[in-house]
Structure 1
Amino acid sequence: MDTFVIRLWQRVGKVRAFAVLVLVAGLAGGLLIANRQTQHNATAEPVKAADAASLPRTSGSPSAGQASEQASAQSKAQDAASAAAAQAKAAEDAARKKKEEEASRSNTRAPYPAPASCGVYTGNRNIGCTEMVAAGFALDQMPCLDKLWTKESGWNPKAHNKSSGAHGIPQALPGDQMAAYGSEWETDAKTQIKWGLSYIKRRYKTPCGAWAHSQSSGWY
C-alpha cells in the first residue's frame, strides 16, 4: 500500500512539472508573438505614411504648385482683358478724333461767296475785314465773320450784355480781357476786333468755324 502511494505521488509530481513546463512555454510563445506584432506595426506605420504621401490629391485644398499656376493663369487673363479694353478705347478715340477733324474741316469751309475785296464793306465791317486778312484768314471767311458779329453785337463796340457782362463787337466775357490789345478796349472797334479774331483762331480756327458753332449751339 505504501509503495503504491509513493508511486502515485511520483506520477502526480511529473504531471505537475510537465504542466508547469507547458505553461512556461505558452507564456514565452505569447510574449514572442506579441513582440513580433509590435515590431511589425512599428515598421508598417511609416510605410503607410509614406504611401499616403505619395498618393495624388483628389480633393481638398490645392497644393502650392497648383495655387501658383491658378494665380498665374488669372493674372494672364486679367492682362489680356486690360489690353483688349485699352485697344478698344484707342480705336474709339481714333474714330472720334477723325470724325471731329472731318467736322472741323467741314465747318471751316466758307459756305458763302467771297467778296471781291474788303472795299465792299464800310465802317467797322471794313476794319473787321482788313484786320481779318492781316491775321491770316482768307477773304472768303468774311461773310461768316459778318454774320457772326452782326448776330452778337451788330458791330457796335459799345454793345453790352447786362445779364452776362459780355462786351463789345465780339462780346468778350469778361470784357476787360480785350485790354491786352489796347487800353481803349471799351470803345475802340479795332482793339475789340483784334481780340475777337485771336479768340476765334484759338477756339475755332476760322470765322466760319465759329459761325457754325454759333448756329448749332447759340453761342461761340
Structure 2
Amino acid sequence: MTTRISVRGFAVASATAVTTVGAVVGVASGGQQGTAEPAELAAADATLLADIPVGGNTETQTTSLSQQADSQSEAANAAAKKAAEEDARKQAAKDAADKKKATEAKKAEELEKKAAEEREKELAASRSSERTAPGGGDFPQQASYSVAEVKAMAQQIVGGGQFQCFSNIVQRESTWNYQASNPSSGAYGLVQALPGTKMASAGADWRTNPATQIKWGVNYMNDRYGSPCGAWEFWQANHWY
C-alpha cells in the first residue's frame, strides 16, 4: 500500500517560485520561451512528490501483519493441542471402562464356574451315596417300621453328606411317618409325594416300604434341586419343595 503525501500547496508554491526565477532569467536573456519550462518542471516535481510512499508506515504495517499471522498460528497450535489432549483423555477413559468391564465379566464367569463345580460335586456325592434297590433291596420286608429304623434306612440310602438336609425336609413333611397321608391334596409318604403314585417309578411297594419312598425322594430332590441340600434351601424360603 502506497501512502501519498498531500503536497499540493508545496507544488504550487514551488511552481510560482520557479516561474518567477525563470521569468527573471528570461528577461535577462532577452527570450520568451524559457518562462514555460520551469513551470512544467515544477508541476512534474509536484506529481513525483505526491507519489512518494511513507517508508516508516509501510514497515509498521508489515510488522503488524506478521504479528497477526504468528498469533493466529499460535492459536491454531494451541487449539490442536487441546483437541489432541481431549481425545487422549476420552480414549483413556474408554480403555479404563472396557478393562473394568472385561475384569468384571471374567470374575462373574469364574464365580459361576466355581458354583457349577460345587453343585456338580454335591450332586455326584449324593448320587454315589444312593442305594438303588427296587422294592427295598438289602432291607428286609417288615409289617411295620419304627422311626429309628426308617432313619437308619435313609442314612444308608442318602449318605452322610446330604442326610441332614433330607432329614430336615422329611421331619417337616411327615415327621418320619412313611404312611402319612394328606386327605385334602393326596400327598403320601415320607416325602409327601404328590400324588403318591409317582413313587411307583421306584418300586411297586411304595405304599408300605420306606426304602422305596426314600429312594424316590432322593431322586426327585437331585433332579429338581441338584441335591437334598438344594431342596432344603428352597424349602426354607418357600415352605414347600
| TM-score, normalization by structure 2 | 0.46
| TM-score, normalization by structure 1 | 0.49
